[in-house]
Each structure stands twice: as C-alpha cells, then as structure tokens.
Structure 1
Amino acid sequence: MQYLKRYLLICIAFICILLGIIGIVLPLLPTTPFFILALACFARSSQRFHQQLLNSPYVGPILADWEADKRIDKQRKKQIMLMIVCSFAVSIWLLQAQFHLQLLLIVIMFILLFCIKRIAEK
C-alpha cells in the first residue's frame, strides 16, 4: 500500500508541474499553487524530485521561500497580482463580443486576486 501511495503522489506531482507550466501561458490556470502542490507531493514521496524542484532556477526560490515560512515576498506578490490582471485583461479584450465570458473571466480574476491577497507576506 505504501508503494502505491508513493507512486500516486509522484504522478500527481508531475501532473501539477505540467499544469503549472501550462498555467504560465493560460490565464485561467494559476501557476504557483500547482508548483506548491507538486512540492508537497514530492516531499511525501521522493526526496530526489523534491530537491530538484527546489533547485529549479525558475520556481525554486519561490518554493523554497514558501516551504520555509509559508509566506510570499511582498514584491513577488505584487508581481503575481499584476500578471493576473494583465493576462486576464488581454483575455477579456479578446472576447469583446461575448459579454457573458468576459463577466466570467472578471469574476475568476477577482477570486484569484482575493486568494493571492490572503497569503501572508514577508
């Protein structure tokens, strides 16, 4: 049973990494939470993959900060929020003729911003 749990967590972690990478270009998928979830799965299943994720040049420093004290740097938080607003603004602009989809994107954007705002700052 432990063997199955370990490999299930590793699979979930790799799926989260894939979704995080996709989330870099798609505004509806938040990138950072997927990488945090992958880090948590690796911490319980594979120390090697856990360390590789922490050593990643792109997401490693953010994840190391999160793992250390469950907080995000204030400047990084502002950058995340700005990226959310910019990517959603482009998506909303591209859907000019579809008001209901624009409204849905606005609601999702505010939910994401609210969730990010609630994360403790350094």
Structure 2
Amino acid sequence: MRLLWLALGGVALFAGIVGVVLPVVPTTPFVILAAFAFSKSSPRLHAYLTDHPRFGPMIADWRAHGAIAPRYKAMAVSMMLVALLISVALSVPPRLLLIQALCMGGAAAFVLSRPNGPRRTAGK
C-alpha cells in the first residue's frame, strides 16, 4: 500500500510542477494531493513539500483552514476557462464540450467556495 501512495504522490507532484509551467494545469490541488499521499508513504518527501518555499504555504493554508488563496483561485478558474475556450476553438464535439464544461464548472465552484485563508502581512 505504501508504494501505491508513493506513486500517487509522485504523479500528483509531477502534475503540480507541470501546472507551474503550463497555465492550463492547476497546481494547488495536485500539490495538496501529493502532500497527502506522501504523508501516508514518505515522511521525507512529505517534509520536503511542507517546508518548500512555494508549495509549503498553500499546503499549510489548506490544512489549517481548508483554504485556497485568492491568487490561486483566480489562476485555477482562469486556466479552466482558457482550456474550455481552446476546446471550443479546436471544434471539440458539443457533447464533449458539455461534459468538459460541467466538470470544470463543478471544479471551479469547489475552488471558489473554499475560504481565502488568513491574511498575511508583507513580511510573511
């Protein structure tokens, strides 16, 4: 079971890193999933993620408050919209567009329904 959690964490972290580079792939949910999977399989990788300067704060906000920072919410929803618009431009069949829109709409609703988290001062 440990190897399955480790594999899931690795795949999720890879997807999250891809999301840093490619704006169509969301980063935050994949990094949170990777942290969860690594907490079940690898204390060393879990500590690496939670202490990471870029990924650590989003994991901490999620754990403490179930929160996603407004900046990450805006990025996630914007990229979902861009992906949908690309599908329209590529003439994806209407049935697939509907499925894509419903899935992305549900994901966007979930992301937007999360609290913003605590306010940080400029030094933090």
TM-score (norm 2): 0.70
Residue matched to 2:74: 82
Higher share in helix: 1
Residue matched to 2:120: none
Structure 2: distance between partners of 1:90 and 1:11? 29
Contact 2:67 2:114 in 1 (8 A): yes
Which segments of 5 or more consecutive residues in structure 2 lack a partner in the other structure?
118-124
Contact 1:6 1:45 in 2 (8 A): yes
Residue matched to 2:9: 13
Structure 1: distance between partners of 2:35 and 2:89? 38
Structure 2: distance between partners of 1:39 and 1:97? 35
Residue matched to 1:110: 105
Residue matched to 1:98: 91
TM-score (norm 1): 0.71
Which segments of 5 or more consecutive residues in structure 1 lack a partner in the other structure?
none
Q: CA deviation at 1:33?
A: 1.8
Q: Which string of whole-angstrom CA distances, capped at 9 and with x for unpartnered residues, describes residues 50-83 of structure 1? A: 110112122111112223x24215xx2x222321
* Paired AA for residue 114 in structure 2: I
The sequence identity of aligned pairs, in percent, is 27
Runs of 4+ in 1 over 4 A off after TM superposition: 101-105
Residue matched to 1:30: 26
- What RMSD in Å do the two structures reach over aligned CA positions? 2.5
Would you say how many aligned residue pairs link Structure 1 and Structure 2?
113
